[in-house]
Amino acid sequence: YVSREYEPPVNETEEALAAIWAEVLRMARVGAADDFFLSGGHSLLAVRMLARVRDAFGVELSPRAVFEAPTVAGLAVRIDAARAAGDRAGAPPIEPAPRDRPLPLSFGQERLWFLWRMAPESPFYNVPAPLRLRRAVDPEGMARALAELAARHEPLRTVFEEAGGAPVQKVLPPGPFALPVEDFSAAPRVGDDLPAALRERIAAEAKAPFDLTRGPVFRAHLFRVAGDDHVLLLNLHHVVADGWSMGILFRELLALYDAFAEGRPSPLPPLPVRYADYAVWQRGWLSGAVLERELEFWRHELAGVPAALELPTDRPRPAVQSFRGATHTFRIPQDVADSLAALARREGATPYMVLLAAFGAVLSRWARQDDVVIGSPVGSRARPEVEGLVGVFINMVPQRVDLSGRPGFRALLRRVRERTLEAFAHQEVPFEHVVEALGVQPDLSRGPVFQAMFVLQNAVAEGGGEGAAEMVWADSETAKYDLTLAVTERADGFSAALEYATDLFDAGTVERIGRHLGTFLAAVAADPDAPVHALPLMDADERRLVVETWNATERPYAKGDTLHGMFEAQAARTPGAPALSFDGVTTSYAALNAKANRIAHYLRSRGVGPESRVGVLLERTPALVAALVGVLKAGAAYVPLDPQYPAERIAFMLEDTAVPVLLTQESLGDVVPPTGAEVVRIDGDRARIDAQPETNPGVALDFEHPAYLIYTSGSTGRPKGVVVRHGSAAVFL
């Protein structure tokens, strides 16, 4: 970016600030009227810039100041005002920590260490990074560069022990680095692709677990594809590095390798502090009154959020997350991306905020929730001295997207902008402390506070000459959350990936979510003032399928169609086909039909027939399905009673429907209230039920007979029962 109308700084504050911007934005010259965001800045770079402002001027400004005054001249006024008011930076500088005592873990390290202790064999928090080097590589020279890299960055040679019941880090002395080398030059491949055998080998090595107590926590493998083509796989445990760290590692590793190959010493400047110094500083500063002030913000910000994001899933949520996952990738075209960026500029926002608002809106539509919380990882490197450190600085920041009142997208973006700026201003408090402060109860089936995550990758990776190295895609086959949207800004638009939990979602469902997001973003680009709830999710093809194709297959139903009649016809057509699956056991149509017939005949013997009502109070098992069909076959209408209902509600429904017979089971004896109905227990009366005929009862019913009674929630008063006829249900099906 080059300013078209350069205006030179006019005072010392503007001159110093322009120099800071030039360094952060990598610009040759910055003028007083240059806009930070139009010059290529974003939220992450704003945090880096403000860290330099703090060191240069001794004042603490929030990210909001950059958005409200995005020019050099405008921000310089804010800086001078803060200095005049005596608003000094609150956090002390990071100093070298004494090494004569155990070194604590940072808050981020402690979180990851605890997760590793729970599942030490899991590769869930491995950070594999395969780098394809299209050049000749000397294994000995690369091993020397890796050893120098580990000597420079202490986390790469750190192990974790326990002292006094708490984890501590132990930095091992520098030493040689073992670099295994494997040759795949003879393996078959297609074109420029890597050999399939090599991809399998990379995947296997990427999943190998780490032992944090013994080490190493940092491994590397070199794979030879050809004489001038190699893949270097770096693999670390997340407890010692984050995504930003990987850019540092690659940049410094290649710089060291090239220097050593030319007989030069290390070209890297000394590090001002070490990661352990940061850990000691973080625990000393973020405590007491400072921590309580930060937590109070999050208590207020997240007050009243929904307990969970209830997306419709393809399978029931397991009791314990397995973290098995897969990824679906798609693209957002350049014209849409450009329009969204222009919208962000007009609203004083960033593409991150636009995409966060859009993702929240789509999740809201899927989950039918007006209040959505999305997690977002933030690299909390708010001090210049830690920018070059390898370590885990990442923190999860909950972002609340409020869609109440049916806002237009522009209005929603303004809401998201305000909340995001506030969240960024309080990003340092560890997420675990936020969870604890909110009093969230542990739930092994899902993550606390949020179950969806959003990541925007707009930081340029550093390292290697252009075209000299490229990352090789490696699907980890894991999912940290139910759904994660990762977007990368590219010259030709947005590249997007949806990582999803395969325990919950099928690939087709996630592909549909991706299509809906793409359609929604295109609609926002065309009309940002349209109400969010009215913006389309379905593209033209999907809408044509739903509205036209599916409706074109409608068939007329005869007056005699009943629910159980349709079931009996299917059982006659496919008696051996699976009708019901539960807990690994499958029941055929013939078997289910026979069970329902025996229940129907037994109910008939108890006086049940057309126009009768039968209460059904059963757990969700195959017996429930057989009972519902059996009631219909007896000619009656069933009244479903959920065992989880309050006792008062069950009693009211039994009294209101005056059912003559109640079907239940022995284990629900304490749930059944006093009733005048005859109580039939499916398991207790099994002998008499099993003695009944297996043939269809053949009760004469028609289209107009009641099939079941369903009760309203009662949110506006007493619950009200609604009768649903066979004809209505049959046509619906």
If we measure between CA atoms, which residue out of 557, 554, 626, 614 comes closest to residue 588?
Answer: 626
pLDDT of residue 462: 39
Which helix H or strand E contains 150, and what residues bound it? helix 139-152
pLDDT of residue 733: 75
Q: Which residues contact 690 (CB under 8 A, 6 or more apart)?
A: 598
Average pLDDT, the chain: 90
If we measure between CA atoms, which residue out of 423, 307, 402 comes closest to residue 357?
Answer: 402
Q: How many CB atoms lie within 10 A of CB 674?
A: 6
Per-residue pLDDT tens digits for 266-313: 999 999 999 999 999 999 888 899 899 999 999 999 999 998 999 999
Q: What's the CA gap between 628 and 639, in Å, rounded?
A: 9
pLDDT band at 523 (very low <50, low <70, confident <90, very high): very high
pLDDT of residue 463: 37
Higher pLDDT, 454 or 101: 454
Per-residue pLDDT tens digits for 239-271: 999 888 988 999 999 999 999 999 999 999 999
pLDDT of residue 302: 95
Q: What's the CA gap between 235 and 474, in Å, rounded?
A: 12
Per-residue pLDDT tens digits for 336-357: 999 999 999 899 899 999 999 9
| pTM listed for this prediction | 0.72
**Window from 31-45, 367-381, 458-472 with minimum mean pLDDT:** 458-472
Residue 673 has pLDDT above 70, yes or no: yes
What's the average model confidence in pLDDT over 201-206? 90
Q: How many CB atoms lie within 10 A of CB 725?
A: 18
Q: How many CB atoms lie within 10 A of CB 266?
A: 16
pLDDT band at 559 (very low <50, low <70, confident <90, very high): low
Q: Which residues of 161-200 are buried (b: 16+ CB within 10 A; e: fewer)?
A: eeeeeebbbebeeeeebebeeeebeeeebeeeebbeebbe
pLDDT of residue 4: 55
